[in-house]
Structure 1
């Protein structure tokens, strides 16, 4: 394996691998936090609030890293696909596209429907003291108030579809994509014995 920062036709470079595993870590911590909150804490208690803060901090951090990874992906050559059936190539391509879609959609929908102020993130591992509440932004005024004609008071009920998209999209689609991604990597590594997983491990 080479020590190149950039990708080559044979493998991913150090930066792509670092971004991949950093995002995987943030995603796992965020998921564990929200399910821990659902299963092991009482609503509106300090433990529940803390893990929700952790979940949202991981989500916003993941959003930043997703932007960086997409930029890096567009500026770099991608390793050639591992030889295989056309359906596998297409499945891998569309799985990655859906992954990118959800890596952007989940933090955005979570931020929009949560309605939390920037102080909510204070003291968490990834604090965003500069992140304003969505209803305090010019985007809210332009899109929601002026564009859709929804007042700030009516926004609490109007944002329910966005909340459902975040909750059920994460619960079903995102978890299915994660399982498919991990399963495919293990299948290539142990069954097909090719370099699909090795070139991301470095």
Structure 2
């Protein structure tokens, strides 16, 4: 059983009540890391998630949105409360369980599922109008699988928004993305130091 505490926050003008892990270090085990290099990144409320949520709050209702590597899923919660049709995916079963409970507690209607960006995307029922991610470029090994799976997830003319605080692999990701996507960025009212990169797929 996870040891959770309640946290209240305001994001994009919305009040959210979240249950989050009390002690992040307690989630880290040498056994899990040795097995599949598991680090409980999902349990942290990252500044990139807050910046992404700010941008998503202004997206029109009805948008079919997918958040990959969702972690605590604050962007997904905000998007769902704004009327978007949201699917949130993370490879950690604990992240999925916590987000489902937090969605119910906040009256957010969304689908939460276990999925890794190295897995078959078909169970997610793509394509989506918009695919988003917050701070997923923390390791260089993530660049290739994310870029490889995006074309299967995004509808023609759709977009990808990646919020990033300046991780070292980000320039490589953007350079490689520019060979298939139009790359720009979106202004936001969230934490300074975070850039929300915008990738647009040709129609």
TM-score range normalised by the length of the shorter chain = under 0.3
The structure in which a higher percent of residues are strand is: 2
Q: TM-score, normalised by structure 2?
A: 0.23
Q: TM-score, normalised by structure 1?
A: 0.23
Highest RCO, 1 vs 2 (Cα 8 Å, sep ≥ 6): 1
The structure in which a higher percent of residues are helix is: 1
Larger radius of gyration: 1
